[in-house]
Structure 1
Amino acid sequence: MDKEAILKNAQLWTQAPFDKETITQTLALITANNAEFQESFYKDLEFGTGGMRGVMGVGTNRINKYTLGKNTQGLSQYLKETFKNEQIKVAIAYDCRHNSKELAQVVASVLSANGIYVYLFEELRPTPLLSYTVKARGCHAGIVLTASHNPPEYNGYKVYWQDGGQLVPPQDKAILDLINSLDFKDINFNGNPDLIELLTAADDNAFIEDSIKAGKVAGNVDRSRLKIVFTSLHGTSITLLPETLKRAGYTDLHVVKEQAFPDGNFPTVKSPNPEEPEALKMAVDLADKIHADIVIGTDPDSDRLGVAVRDNNGKMVLLNGNQTMIAMTDFLLKQTDLKSLNNPFIGSTIVSTPMMHELAAAHKVECKEGLTGFKWIAKMIKDHPQQDFIGGGEESFGYMVGDFVRDKDAVTAALLACEMYAFAKANSSTTYQDLIKLYVEHGCYQERLVSLVKKGISGAQEIKQMMIDLREKTPQQIAGQDVIIIEDYQASTRENKHLNKKESLNIPKSNVLIFYLADGSKIAARPSGTEPKIKFYISVKSELDHVDNYPAIQEQLNNKINGILASFDI
């Protein structure tokens, strides 16, 4: 969109149906005519892998009552067209971010104005509870106001369908087409309070009971012996996670008090992201002070989980998402009576560790693989009702235990992580030692994620050009290794260069490129669907003949990853 079109777009926000405050703020942006003005109006905010997420403020490319109102009006009309002659029900939850409660009320008002019955959580609650409530309350859809682990100026909007999973084809495109056909004047903000019901502690208790049923799998072990440090990073998990662990028998639980209060400013961390070691520093410091076994940290909406455990030298180390997923999946498989299940399977994503396939083969279960985002794992469950889902995850610190929740669930995953460590401790081992044993048994995998931040209009263009260059100037070698297979999920093709063979990928289109090298290394490039980033996912592998040799092999693999990054000039 050129400058003239941006100005024309902005001028529409200086008149009805927009309120006086919005008009005043828009006029100020037009007068400033700076980068913020350009970025606020140069496009419409789009749905990505985790719904709609963006900076709060006025404008078509911002999170505000009008952009979310338009989404909700479109969703309302789609629901009424799809479920004719039914009393449609929608559940709404929200996190700790600025304006989340107010925006949740706006969304509830639009839904109720359209004759839709709303279940609204009275206070902030975790995202997995919303997914659970959609199913438990028999809702037709669900909405959560959250921007996950993004910076404080962000908020977001995620939509769930009847099965408790996020929107996937064909509903997502149909709803987006309807939203795009609307004008802001079409939004009905005149809510009906009689159609809004506030949810109570009974909904919390039902979730906690089912979470324990799904995650408490370690058998008869002394859970009181496990010393746990937990931090909610100022987010929603404080409302459910400590109570869940305590009811499951984990009484030696220590909460990081400085981070226990919900706060959208996230004052004690640079980023409320448990993927980053810095975010868990206060928790690790407390763990060292009290000699705890394990650290658990969650992101603001409590769907991502960070786990730190002690290595063989007694140092607390943060496991990456792939390691947590591998350890928890193997433990879950071993504690499950697989013979009693119908064609059981585990789930993963195309950018996660290939080791999930090794585990599946070893336990004689299927490993289904989808695009990035738990909505695709939820779709696997929905599309294969004749199969039993055990558990699954992705490299970005998400995990789902069973199918009672259809999104990544840090509450139940935290319980499973504690169960895994309590079981190891009861058998004179640790989670870290058990993980290395898995590397000996199945091959030693090492993964790393590198994210390049590219903000604003120029950043979006730069990311677009980087993906174009990777496609048009495809490397023949990476770090001295031949590129033998190229998967292009945008073109839906898989090219085997050694066999000179090209075949179609039976998976929805996505802007992802994956290179497989002759030595078994895997490199994926993917623009983020929720942040101004391009991400590179690297996976390398080596044999490990003995647990004592892990440090040396780990160093070799990290050096190999460094070489791959250098070949991309990263």
Structure 2
Amino acid sequence: MTLRFGTAGLRGPVGDGPAAMNVPNVIAATAGLADWLTDRGLAGATVVVGRDARRGSDEFAAATAQVLAGAGFDVIALPEPGPTPLVAFAARAHGAAAGVMITASHNPPADNGYKVYLDGGAQLISPADREIEAAIAAAPASPATAAVGPDERARRVRDDYLARLDERFGPPAAAPVRIALTPLHGVGGSLAVEALRRNGFPDVHVVEEQFAPDPDFPTVAFPNPEEPGAADLLLALAADSGADLAIALDPDADRCAVGVPGPDGTWRMLTGDETGALLGTAILDECEPLGQPRPVLASSIVSGTLMDTIATARGARPVRTLTGFKWLVRAGEPLAYAYEEALGHCVDPEAVRDKDGISAAVALARLTAERGNLGALLEELSARYGRHATAQRSLRVDRLADIGEVMAQLRADPPAALAGIGVTARDLRRDGPGPHTDAVELTGEDPAGVALRIVARPSGTEPKLKYYGQVVAPPGGSAAPAALTALLAGALAELPGPPRRTDRSS
């Protein structure tokens, strides 16, 4: 087995051999990328290289930069470990032919990865991935290398990014907001604190145990703010410090999770869909009055529909794409905002054509300063556009074949009802008006007009099967939030899991 180059580039455990992330495999991938760029008339073009603080990141980034320089490319190698959005920003700002970020994002500690940007700082899409993989196979085993020295452009990327945030958001906010923040042992902490300070939010309390980069991620089972328990220290700090807003970044700071206090002072993390509706509303406010062409607000087919409903009602153009920011940022123009339920938000597509947790954190802090408690604002949106509840059920498997078995079962013998609501199945590989993908959609509605929708889809980056669920009660309905949440939880629990095996190694 070998590590395959796909639309996420490379991602896998750090170790020896062809199936792992190591220097020889990174050199081979970079030689193939260099040949692919050269074949397309881009010899000598600019390429940006960055890295996070995971194990192997320094060596992998150095090897990447040296191979690209040896092939004659103009390499901007960022001098320190930093967030993924800096590479996406620098690639776009410098008109780079490509960007390479060494990161495994929110994967487990043993992993690392090699993420490629093309097309003005957007993640690569097919057929580029297959073409680059073919170029990797044909590349020389020992490509030429060259040293990459200090570069003023590279040194300025962080400052240029912060200056762009100043331009994007305008003068610092006037209203004070107290913020609790964690970067989950990743590389986004210092940049987030500085970005918030420059935007008028100096009152930031950080989770000290999680602030410094640490590749072992010692305080969390998985370094992903979506995972249960990952935000416990953050929410405790928010309550103890009297914060108005809690923010969790994932380890490479391209995702942003948000916590808010309820009326009784109890804190909870918002879902990505709730945050998407809030940010989409704020960006529509910025766009008023809407011009022509209408602004595009993009979300993925597994995301909730509250933002779409708001965008339609306000005259904007909601667009649904395949899952992943490689598709979301190509949803159409003029792109004003894009999000996916997995906590990714693009609030400044002119500068960063990817998800960006730092700029999203600033946008949420400014929205809090302008509108107050974000939970109360969500209640206003629910009263006007209908109450939307979303949740996931995520099944981590030992055998990838287990995912295929469950998907085959859903296609061959889908449930007739979930939580007492009759449902109809649709195979999204070939059915439906939207983009086709390896997913199954189950939809239904009860007599009171409460709509249920669940999408089953294999994860594109981890050995997981995910169920993405939503229930929607119409405006003015009598459905209580707790009842909708319980209904959705019950429906998700009835869906099949991986087969039970006495020998999990089989």
- TM-score, length-normalised on structure 2? 0.92
Q: Could you tell me which residue of structure 2 aligns to residue 25 of structure 1?
A: none
Q: Could you tell me which residue of structure 2 aligns to residue 130 of structure 1?
A: 87
Deviations 1:356-399 (CA, angstroms, capped at 9, x unpaired): 2201111101011111111111222xxx4xx3221120100110
Q: Could you tell me which residue of structure 1 aligns to residue 56 of structure 2?
A: 99
Question: SS at 1:245's partner residue?
Answer: helix
Q: Could you tell me which residue of structure 2 aligns to residue 332 of structure 1?
A: 283
- Pick closer, same or farther for the CA change 1:220–1:105 going to 2, 3 Å: closer
Per the TM alignment, residue 112 of structure 1 is displaced from its structure 2 partner at its CA by 1.8
- Pick closer, same or farther for the CA change 1:196–1:529 going to 2, 3 Å: farther
2: CA distance, partners of 1:67 / 1:510: 29
1:493 and 2:451 aligned: no
Q: Could you tell me which residue of structure 2 aligns to residue 269 of structure 1?
A: 220
Deviations 1:92-111 (CA, angstroms, capped at 9, x unpaired): 11111011111111111221
Per the TM alignment, residue 68 of structure 1 is displaced from its structure 2 partner at its CA by 2.1
What residue ranges of structure 2 are gaps of 5+ in the alignment?
A: 498-506
Say which of 356, 361, 370 aligns to 1:414: 361
1: CA distance, partners of 2:312 / 2:158: 37
Q: Could you tell me which residue of structure 1 aligns to residue 174 of structure 2?
A: 222
1: CA distance, partners of 2:153 / 2:230: 32
Q: Could you tell me which residue of structure 1 aligns to residue 464 of structure 2?
A: 533
Per the TM alignment, residue 196 of structure 1 is displaced from its structure 2 partner at its CA by 7.7
Question: SS at 1:535's partner residue?
Answer: strand
Q: How does 1:14-25 map to 2 (within 5 A)?
A: none
The answer to whether the Cα contact below 8 Å between 2:253 and 2:356 also exists between their aligned partners in 1 is yes
- Pick closer, same or farther for the CA change 1:189–1:418 going to 2, 3 Å: same
2: CA distance, partners of 1:161 / 1:486: 34
Q: How does 1:125-204 map to 2 (within 5 A)?
A: 125-179=82-136, 181-182=137-138, 186-193=140-147, 197=151, 199-204=153-158
1: CA distance, partners of 2:183 / 2:251: 7
1:53 and 2:7 aligned: no
1:512 and 2:439 aligned: yes
1: CA distance, partners of 2:197 / 2:34: 40
2: CA distance, partners of 1:114 / 1:481: 60
Tell me which moved more, 165-174 or 344-353. 165-174
2: CA distance, partners of 1:314 / 1:469: 44
Tell me which moved more, 202-211 or 560-569. 560-569
The answer to whether the Cα contact below 8 Å between 1:277 and 1:318 also exists between their aligned partners in 2 is no
Q: Could you tell me which residue of structure 1 aligns to residue 490 of structure 2?
A: 563
1: CA distance, partners of 2:180 / 2:214: 20
1:460 and 2:400 aligned: yes
Q: How does 1:103-114 map to 2 (within 5 A)?
A: 103-114=60-71
2: CA distance, partners of 1:527 / 1:280: 25
Per the TM alignment, residue 554 of structure 1 is displaced from its structure 2 partner at its CA by 1.6
1: CA distance, partners of 2:491 / 2:118: 40
Say which of 361, 364, 387 aligns to 1:444: 387
Aligned length in residues: 492
Per the TM alignment, residue 506 of structure 1 is displaced from its structure 2 partner at its CA by 5.7
The answer to whether the Cα contact below 8 Å between 2:50 and 2:102 also exists between their aligned partners in 1 is yes
The answer to whether the Cα contact below 8 Å between 1:392 and 1:401 also exists between their aligned partners in 2 is yes
2: CA distance, partners of 1:273 / 1:433: 26
1: CA distance, partners of 2:154 / 2:129: 30
The answer to whether the Cα contact below 8 Å between 2:296 and 2:334 also exists between their aligned partners in 1 is yes
1: CA distance, partners of 2:57 / 2:309: 42
1:208 and 2:162 aligned: yes
2: CA distance, partners of 1:303 / 1:515: 30
Tell me which moved more, 516-525 or 132-141. 516-525
Question: SS at 1:271's partner residue?
Answer: coil
Per the TM alignment, residue 50 of structure 1 is displaced from its structure 2 partner at its CA by 3.5
RMSD: 2.1
Per the TM alignment, residue 209 of structure 1 is displaced from its structure 2 partner at its CA by 1.6
- Pick closer, same or farther for the CA change 1:309–1:439 going to 2, 3 Å: same
1: CA distance, partners of 2:102 / 2:376: 39
2: CA distance, partners of 1:49 / 1:531: 14
1:398 and 2:323 aligned: no
1:68 and 2:26 aligned: yes
The answer to whether the Cα contact below 8 Å between 1:214 and 1:401 also exists between their aligned partners in 2 is no
2: CA distance, partners of 1:47 / 1:447: 33
Q: Could you tell me which residue of structure 2 aligns to residue 521 of structure 1?
A: 452
Percent identity, aligned pairs only, is: 32
- Pick closer, same or farther for the CA change 1:197–1:209 going to 2, 3 Å: closer
Pick the structure with more helix per residue: 1
1: CA distance, partners of 2:268 / 2:256: 14
Deviations 1:225-284 (CA, angstroms, capped at 9, x unpaired): 211111111111124111111111112122222221111111222222122352222222
Per the TM alignment, residue 449 of structure 1 is displaced from its structure 2 partner at its CA by 0.9
Per the TM alignment, residue 312 of structure 1 is displaced from its structure 2 partner at its CA by 1.5
- Pick closer, same or farther for the CA change 1:484–1:352 going to 2, 3 Å: same
The answer to whether the Cα contact below 8 Å between 2:172 and 2:200 also exists between their aligned partners in 1 is no
1:88 and 2:42 aligned: no
- Pick closer, same or farther for the CA change 1:220–1:250 going to 2, 3 Å: closer
2: CA distance, partners of 1:285 / 1:244: 23
Per the TM alignment, residue 198 of structure 1 is displaced from its structure 2 partner at its CA by 7.0
- Pick closer, same or farther for the CA change 1:534–1:557 going to 2, 3 Å: same
Deviations 1:529-559 (CA, angstroms, capped at 9, x unpaired): 111111111111113538xx7xx61221122
Per the TM alignment, residue 424 of structure 1 is displaced from its structure 2 partner at its CA by 1.5
Say which of 282, 302, 311 aligns to 1:360: 311
Question: SS at 1:267's partner residue?
Answer: coil
Say which of 465, 473, 491 aligns to 1:542: 473
Per the TM alignment, residue 44 of structure 1 is displaced from its structure 2 partner at its CA by 2.2
2: CA distance, partners of 1:227 / 1:257: 16
The answer to whether the Cα contact below 8 Å between 2:255 and 2:344 also exists between their aligned partners in 1 is yes
The answer to whether the Cα contact below 8 Å between 1:54 and 1:154 also exists between their aligned partners in 2 is yes
The answer to whether the Cα contact below 8 Å between 1:440 and 1:543 also exists between their aligned partners in 2 is no
Q: Could you tell me which residue of structure 1 aligns to residue 500 of structure 2?
A: none
Question: SS at 1:493's partner residue?
Answer: coil
The answer to whether the Cα contact below 8 Å between 1:149 and 1:273 also exists between their aligned partners in 2 is yes
Tell me which moved more, 282-291 or 102-111. 282-291
Q: Could you tell me which residue of structure 2 aligns to residue 347 of structure 1?
A: 298
Deviations 1:279-328 (CA, angstroms, capped at 9, x unpaired): 22222222222211111110110001111011121211111111111111
1: CA distance, partners of 2:269 / 2:419: 28
Per the TM alignment, residue 63 of structure 1 is displaced from its structure 2 partner at its CA by 1.1
1: CA distance, partners of 2:441 / 2:101: 32
2: CA distance, partners of 1:202 / 1:71: 27
Per the TM alignment, residue 569 of structure 1 is displaced from its structure 2 partner at its CA by 4.0
Question: SS at 2:423's partner residue?
Answer: strand
Task: Kindly provide the amino acid, as one letter, of the partner of residue 157 in structure 1.
Answer: Y
What residue ranges of structure 1 are gaps of 5+ in the alignment?
A: 1-42, 495-504
- Pick closer, same or farther for the CA change 1:273–1:461 going to 2, 3 Å: same
Deviations 1:476-522 (CA, angstroms, capped at 9, x unpaired): 43333333351423xx322xxxxxxxxxx563x53222222234211
Task: Kindly provide the amino acid, as one letter, of the partner of residue 535 in structure 1.
Answer: K
